[in-house]
Structure 1
Amino acid sequence: MREQPQAGETDDLLSLAGSGDGEAFRALVEPHRRELHVHCYRLLGSVQDAEDLVQETLLAAWRGLGGYERRASVRTWLYRIATNRCLNALRAGARRPHENAVHRPEVPMPEPSHHRAEPIWLEPYPDVLLEGIAEQVPGPAARYEVRESVSLAFLTALQQLPPRQRAVLVLRDVLGFRAVEVADILGTTENAVTSALRRARGALGRASREDVPLPDSPRERRIVADFARAFEAGDVGAVVAMLTGDAWLTMPPLPLEYQGPVAVGHFLATVVWRGGRRHVLIPTRANGQPAFGCYLSDPRTPILHAHGVLVLTLTGERIAALTRFHDNALLPAFGLPRSLHV
């Protein structure tokens, strides 16, 4: 991640960029690209849509450079453009999963523990894209650290908020912008920002992140290794033994949710491992959590076919949630292939 230019350098780059110097413009905005990408992802829930919106943001900034009055920092100006582009996309209903993201079950699903009224349009976010972003972003102290603010629990809850409340909560509680800055970004009043933030906090609550193993710690590595061995062996009992009593299995965007070891175990036995099917798991990380690229064995060929991304949510020594994303188009973002040879 490039270092942000100092004040004098910024003025020089703005002057050069204003005269049509593309390299100066890139030097001005590139230090903010990654955090803008995460910001758009938080609002939209999609890595692919976030990339599109960042491109739109930078193009709009280039075209609108002449109107930038320098009352706010370049960073705040870019966040204003990105946030409003995301809100426009959400209001227009333009966000829809890609065709291959809509999983069509091959067999009838067991009766779920819970059936959402609306699907959650959410994709996993590769941890590699978080590299270089400071754990505490610039600005006032924020409530959520970077990794917590992209956790699946937080993102799932966030996607259920109205777009404006979603944006206010992210700008205030995640990024640490002051109420007056958020009001300027959204073109509203401080009172409206305060009111929206209060409603968003009340609706969102806060998922407990206590006693979560540190990333790549010995405890996390042990739990992940034990899970991978049990899952690849198709050992329902071993996987179930690793779950918390209220563990969830979800498959965004499917609205079906399964809670508890019995329901999750029944799903694994009748759907995931039906007919003796076996999987190979390739470790990766998503949303600050351990994850796997899933590959399904084919007894007729030596080829393992991609079967989506599986993300674990850990609590203490156990697994609190299994989140399965079936869209194989996401695999390249994790550096994972579409197939493996055994």
Structure 2
Amino acid sequence: MSTEQSSTTRDAGLAALANELRPELHRYCARLMGSIIEGEDVVQDALVRALEALPELDDATPLRPWLFRIAHNRAMDLLRSRAIRNAEPIDTANDIVDPDNPDPAEALLRQDVVRTAVSHFTELPLHQRSVVILKDVLDESLAEIAALLNLTVDAVKGHLARGRAQLRTINAQASAPRAARPPSDAVAQYATLFNQRDWDGLRALLADDVKLRESAHPLRSGRDDVGHFFTIYAKIEGLWLTPAWIDDREVILVFEDRSDPKPSYFMWLEWRDGQITFIRDYRYVRYVVSDLETS
């Protein structure tokens, strides 16, 4: 096989694996960041970086842990840049159950973690946060976690025990859900026009320099190009939009059936002087709603 053919094959393999792993990567990154929106941003950025670094990767390197390491490192860079609290000192905890012989108590601990709200994970120090997510949410082995985070297995056990204990305390002290927040006039207008299928009215809201991002699809720029977005939606029957709040950001939930209890995906907008300057549509990465917390 020629070098060019080998490179093409590796690119195709990475693309296929990345598509398969995106939901897992998002579950990890969303909890690291404490935000399903920022988690997807990290995943997208990590996959771009992985594609750029692929030509320099040794052929013997397993792609799955390599992708997770890139996503983990990108999230860590962003978190450290915000001066999120430093990780606490490592304590060993040798009483963590052997993953090959789990018991009911271990299973209950993991269930508690999985049910924890995404935003609550940011209350854990970084190492505890990473270890708990990898073990209890993604079911990675202790050895795999140690390799990814460059820790000893005993250190992983220590972070896991402390993180689980702290999450139990956080969940026990969690306050009642906040009352629903009303939508802004601009977002309410957008949803109303969409539900009325008033595509010309929606195009009139677009700024001249508006941009549209749809996952890994090419960025659309300018009123004419982004206006085609509504031409595509005009062909889809039965959609219903509802304003909501996610991660303290105003968004628009998209229901493919108004009777569905949970949205199919969502989008969010940025505005300037009453005009839309940016649209982010999550139609092609619907896994992000699996951890949805709205208000």
TM-score, normalising length: structure 1: 0.42
Which of the two has greater helix per residue? Answer: 2
